[in-house]
Amino acid sequence: MVVSLEEKVLMPEFLSKKPKLKFLFTGGKGGVGKTISAAGLAYRFAKDGKKTLLVSLNPVHSLSSLFGQDLRGGVIKPVEGAPNLYALEVEIDDVVEKYKQNIAKRLSEFLKWADIPMDPKPFIDIATTNPAFQESAMFDKMMDVVLQQGEEYDVVVFDTAAVANAARLIGLSKIYGLWLERMIESRKEALSLRVKLSFRKEKVMEEIKKDPLMADLLSMQDRFNRVKDILLNEELTAFFFVTLPLSLPIAVVKRFIKMVKGFDIPVGGVIVNQVIPKAVAEATTNEYIRNKYREQLGYMAEIERDLGPLVRSYIPVYPSEVVGVDMVARVSQDMFSWIPDFLDELEV
């Protein structure tokens, strides 16, 4: 059986069916093209007149090198040469430090309120050296952007880091919710116990209202629930997975899609990057490229067989790295129109 293009819902059609789409994410294995895909999507929305923010949640400053402009500093900057497009490179160290201070403040307030004469610093040091702390801080920042910049921008595209990080970012949302619920429950129990011990039952509600930790937990829960409602809404949010026509990245995308579906997070689809056109393979005498092309056909068949209806875009392999606004524009254009020249011959 050969691939049928009629049955596909490619990017232009997919987006036209989702006029309210506002939050887009790209995920996938390291180095597969998450950043160029996120930029290609963002560029398109901006070109269509939408005020668009491209956010990098990567520890490495990938947007600056992609656009060849200084977009660092952890503040939103307009992208030169791309009207309506803005970029934000989240500075991990700043985010972690702020998050740490916030938690330290909460903890000291709580210790004071509970009359526990203890220095919170050692606890904070232990908590913040946990490797998951950085990810919690990034997740928190992502929630901030969804709630704040989501108001101000028509579209926000997130370029997330490599697979483990993005997976946790997604997984955290569920765990975070459960954790908050548990915390609130045990806080209620602790508070009613405290009131019971003082034999003044009518004081429970009063006590709960005064408790800074409780107030904090409730506001965290409210904020989290608002973000969750947005991220799980398939009219508003879509996660795109980027793969190469290679075994490992395909396996990662398959695993990812399963996991994301398990969290009820809306899957936007798959972007297949670095496809060698048939014309290129035929025109070259380079054995390496010809072999790569033959190898690619097998992987492309696998993608069509297992992920076919989810494929939204194909991006060809370019003669050089993707750098500068003009190259991003080209990626964007290809994401919305390019189809491999061998697709209709592919046996699946």
Ligand X SMILES: Nc1ncnc2c1ncn2[C@@H]1O[C@H](COP(=O)(O)OP(=O)(O)OP(=O)(O)O)[C@@H](O)[C@H]1O
In the complex, the residues that contact ligand X under the rule CB under 6 A are 30-36, 58, 62, 162, 273-274, 315, 317-318, 321-322
Interaction partner, residue 69 (Mg ion, ligand X, none; CB < 5-8 Å by kind): none
Taking CB under 5 A as the rule, does residue 62 contact Mg ion? yes
Whether the CB-CB separation of 87 and 63 falls below 8 Å is answered with yes
Binding pattern for the stretch 20-39 against Mg ion, x by CB under 5 A and - elsewhere: --------------xx----
| Least separation in angstroms between CB 256 and ligand X | 13
Interaction partner, residue 30 (ligand X, Mg ion, none; CB < 5-8 Å by kind): ligand X
Which residue, 74 or 262, is less far from Mg ion as judged by CB?
74
Which residue, 35 or 173, is less far from ligand X as judged by CB?
35
| Least separation in angstroms between CB 275 and ligand X | 8
Which residue, 113 or 318, is less far from ligand X as judged by CB?
318
Q: Which range of residues in 22-30, 57-65, 184-192, 255-263 is near Mg ion by CB under 5 A? A: 57-65
Give the distance, in angstroms, between the CA of residue 249 and the centroid of all CA atoms in the same chain: 17
Interaction partner, residue 326 (Mg ion, ligand X, none; CB < 5-8 Å by kind): none
Which amino acid is residue 264, in one-letter code? D
**Residue closest to Mg ion, measured at CB:** 35
Which residue, 27 or 120, is less far from ligand X as judged by CB?
27
**Closest C-alpha to 299, from 311, 287, 284, 312:** 311
Q: How far apart are CA 315 and CA 335, in angstroms?
A: 6
**Closest C-alpha to 55, from 155, 123, 172:** 155
Dihedral pair phi/psi, residue 278, rounded to 5°: -60, -40
| Least separation in angstroms between CB 257 and ligand X | 17
Q: How far apart are CA 280 and CA 296, in angstroms?
A: 13
Which amino acid is residue 241, in one-letter code? F
| Least separation in angstroms between CB 25 and ligand X | 12
Look-up of token digits 């994401």: 335
Report helix angle 212-231 to 163-197, nearest 10: 150
Interaction partner, residue 113 (Mg ion, ligand X, none; CB < 5-8 Å by kind): none
Whether the CB-CB separation of 332 and 47 falls below 8 Å is answered with yes
DSSP string covering 121-163 = HHHHHHHHHSHHHHHHHHHHHHHHHHHHHHHH-SEEEEE--SH
**Closest C-alpha to 69, from 24, 99, 106, 39:** 39
| Least separation in angstroms between CB 37 and ligand X | 7
Whether the CB-CB separation of 266 and 238 falls below 8 Å is answered with yes
| Least separation in angstroms between CB 321 and Mg ion | 13
Three-state DSSP class for 118?
Answer: coil
Interaction partner, residue 273 (ligand X, Mg ion, none; CB < 5-8 Å by kind): ligand X
Which residue, 173 or 274, is less far from ligand X as judged by CB?
274
Which residue, 159 or 211, is less far from ligand X as judged by CB?
159
Which residue, 159 or 334, is less far from Mg ion as judged by CB?
159
**Closest C-alpha to 300, from 286, 287, 319, 281:** 281
| Least separation in angstroms between CB 65 and Mg ion | 10
Whether the CB-CB separation of 156 and 22 falls below 8 Å is answered with yes
Which residue, 274 or 343, is less far from Mg ion as judged by CB?
274
Taking CB under 5 A as the rule, does residue 160 contact Mg ion? no
| Contacting positions for Mg ion (CB under 5 A) | 34-35, 62
